[in-house]
Chains A and B, each alone.
Chain A
Amino acid sequence: MSPANILPTPGRFPRLLLPVATLGGPTPPARPTDLDAAVAVGAFSSLRKAIDDLRAEGVLNALTESGMRGRGRGGLPIGEKWRACARAAGDAHYVVVNAYQSDPAVLTDRVLLQNNPYAVIEGAAIAAFAIGAAEVIVAVRVEATEAIKVLETAIAAAERAGYIGPNVLNSGIEIHFSVRPMQGSYMLGEETVLLKGLEGKRGQPEQQPPHTTTRGLFGQPTLIHGPQTFAAVPTILAGGIAGFLETDPRTFAGTVLVQISGAVTTPGIAEIPFGATLHEILDVAGGVPAPRKFKAMLVGGPSGAILPAEALSVAFDHESLATAGAQVGSGSVVVLDQSTCVVDLAAVLTRFCADEACGKTIPCRIGLRRLAEIGARICEGQPRGDEITRLTDLSADVAASALCDHERKATLSMLSVVRYFRDELDAHIVRNACPAGICHPKADARAGAVS
């Protein structure tokens, strides 16, 4: 990754640490909704190629060969997913762009939609063509007003020009786009919950399998990806990932947007290649400013893991992070300095995940609350018996009985503290001391209880 790519915009948050979100494709025009300028740099050429030359089967083959994987939590190869969806029988097929992005601190998807709407639209249109869907639904957060405006303008312009709509590129194919602003629940980021929301129902996840590719929106085959995944599709069909890392194409496919915040010199959004190390990500944001010292890194959002300095050599991809006990998650990286107590943070994050849980699975609904209570007890200096064993056992039970990814990953923060910050945890439990000076010592808690 070359430092020349870093371009912070002073005074405006989120700063884009790279000029624009291209996801390996050509740089979009200065005014993102300018259709002519976008077409001039190659927008919709891959859709034309897909419809005229490749046909549906060719698109699926090209994606399978590319080894391209979803940018989201699962990180599964998208070739197989698209094929399964194309094969599935149903009255209608749907394509859903999940740009809900539930992590309240992460803006990567809406920045992508704001800067490069045609890449997402083209990718979703190619998907609709490949699986035989006539309807594409883009679910966006209500708060992302700018992204919704840009997206609606871009969709209208593309429809007028005949790139999407009732007769796509004069081929007789029908692909309609609609933007659905969603709000009201953290869980909407989970794909089956989002589908429930789009159906107007209570947002609770569904058991998989049957996967959404065979039984999704309204019980019909549905293809769901984040906008980052869709935006990378045109580039792949156009002949590979231009200009980004010359790594082994079998292990690497493309880039991912990361939101870096916390104790760094220039917080913002960076587009990094999959497989860059956490240390490189820290460097992109200018490192930790002078008097403060790096202590840990929260990778993956509220249900992510807290990783110490030793783990900074870990590569930012699905397998490496999973081995290190973390996840790509929301693409959020929060750098923590020495004033943060990791035990307190893990307890607070677990409490957040417990509060946001939909309540469908009992181990998630009750188990996460108990986990948060264990964390709170440790922070208050009132541990009961062998809390660490209880914590690891309960975490294993919660994760093993998980219905959705929220439950599977919500235990990561606590487990990462047990794994990497055992000294600090022991200081809380055994010596009633908080090295960061955040948590209440036992004496205070008792005094508070008496008075």
Chain B
Amino acid sequence: MSFVPGLGIAKGMALTMRRFFAPKATVQYPETPADVAVRFRGRLQLLYDELGNVKCETCFQCAQACPVECIDMGGFDTRGRFHIHWGAAEQYAERRQGSALRRSGRPVPDQEYTHFGAIDLAPVDAILQKYDFEKTEMLAILESIQGVYGYLPVAALKRVSDVSGAPYALIYGTATYYRHLRFEQAGHVVAVCRCTACLVAGGSRVARTIARELGTEIGRGPAASGVSLEQIPAHPHGAHSPLVTLDGKTQQLSQSGAAAWARALAGRTVA
């Protein structure tokens, strides 16, 4: 090929001009939103606050929304209750396998999670039968299970998930939300009323004092002494304010006497 002066530059400029007018691959984000798949949810990341705490509140909304159940989690919920249920990696794998088998319609092994204590699961099956495996009756199913065992065993929740086909995250999300559902056997329960009348009468100070003495918080589960602190859902007819009950029995407490009473209670149950 003969030498033509400037041909190289012309070729180069031709390419430049072609690219200049060609459609651009660069998206002017955020002015132009990127074109992503409908079910794209972004990259999952756990964020930390300035104190180094994970910002995730274990609200289970992501796990409930995940269409393929690839998100699952353990930890403490917003009220600081419950222990980590799915910790080690092999348990995630096991769980994934369980979900996959369930979707494929094959029987799922590993019915009982012995790790969390083996229990007789026959009552769970009977309850599911009674409610016709209906996911929308989940609240009633969980209440019935708690009625049988006194609490919600993890193995029972696993069984409900496996048999009814409801995602575990959905069941766990429901079970951790409602106050009356619990994950451990109830010991002694101190309950304080926080209705407006009791708050006006100093109920919050009494509650704070009792919480400090018992070493727990409302809804946090049992303290070391085995006593848990709860909230009375509705102020009963004719009860005085501020109202404090122990295992359902009304206690006559003055604001100043609450600390000594709670201390004595915590001490008694330890011994």
Q: A interface vs B, CB < 8 Å?
A: 12-14, 103-105, 107, 141-144, 182-185, 197-204, 218, 261-262, 298, 301-302, 332, 334, 336, 340, 345, 348-349, 351-352, 355, 358-360, 365, 438
Further contacts, 19 of them, CB under 8 A, given A105-B195, A198-B136, A336-B200: A14-B237, A103-B195, A141-B233, A142-B180, A143-B233, A184-B181, A197-B139, A199-B136, A200-B137, A302-B196, A332-B196, A334-B196, A334-B200, A352-B204, A355-B218, A358-B177, A359-B57, A359-B78, A360-B61
**How distant is the Cα of A332 from the Cα of B197 in the complex, in angstroms?**
10
**How distant is the Cα of A141 from the Cα of B234 in the complex, in angstroms?**
9
Partner of B199, one of A144, A197, A348, A365: A348
**What is the chain A residue whose CB lies nearest that of B140?**
A200
Complex contact B138–A103 (CB within 8 A) = no
Complex contact B196–A184 (CB within 8 A) = no
Task: Give the distance to chain A from B193, nearest Cβ to Cβ, in Å.
Answer: 7
Q: Which residues of A lie under 8 Å from residue B233 when comparing CB positions?
A: 104, 141-143, 183-184
B201-237 contact mask (Cβ, 8 Å, vs A): 1 or 0: 0101000000000000010000000000000111111
**How distant is the Cα of A302 from the Cα of B200 in the complex, in angstroms?**
11
| Sampled A-B contacts (5; CB under 8 Å) | A104-B235, A105-B197, A184-B233, A199-B136, A359-B59
Given the known interface contacts A355-B218, A365-B78, the answer about A203 and B178 at a Cβ–Cβ threshold of 8 Å is: yes
**How distant is the Cα of A359 from the Cα of B77 in the complex, in angstroms?**
10
Q: Which residues of A lie under 8 Å from residue B57 when comparing CB positions?
A: 359, 365
Q: Which residues of A lie under 8 Å from residue B195 when comparing CB positions?
A: 103-105
Q: Which residues of A lie under 8 Å from residue B174 when comparing CB positions?
A: 200-202
- Asked if B265 CB lies within 8 Å of chain A CBs, one says no
Task: Give the distance to chain A from B62, nearest Cβ to Cβ, in Å.
Answer: 12
Task: Give the distance to chain A from B233, nearest Cβ to Cβ, in Å.
Answer: 6
Q: Which residues of B lie under 8 Å from residue A107 when comparing CB positions?
A: 234, 237
**What is the chain B residue whose CB lies nearest that of A187?**
B177
Complex contact B204–A348 (CB within 8 A) = yes
Task: Give the distance to chain A from B191, nearest Cβ to Cβ, in Å.
Answer: 11
- Asked if B159 CB lies within 8 Å of chain A CBs, one says no
Complex contact B200–A201 (CB within 8 A) = no
Task: Give the distance to chain A from B189, nearest Cβ to Cβ, in Å.
Answer: 15
- Asked if B194 CB lies within 8 Å of chain A CBs, one says yes
**How distant is the Cα of A155 from the Cα of B249 in the complex, in angstroms?**
33
- Asked if B179 CB lies within 8 Å of chain A CBs, one says yes
Complex contact B196–A298 (CB within 8 A) = yes
Q: Which residues of B lie under 8 Å from residue A197 when comparing CB positions?
A: 139, 178
Q: Which residues of B lie under 8 Å from residue A13 when comparing CB positions?
A: 237-238
Complex contact B170–A201 (CB within 8 A) = yes
B241-261 contact mask (Cβ, 8 Å, vs A): 1 or 0: 000000000000000000000
Task: Give the distance to chain A from B227, nearest Cβ to Cβ, in Å.
Answer: 20
Partner of A298, one of B141, B200, B218: B200
Q: Which residues of A lie under 8 Å from residue B170 when comparing CB positions?
A: 201-202
B46-89 contact mask (Cβ, 8 Å, vs A): 1 or 0: 00000000000101110010000000000000100000000000
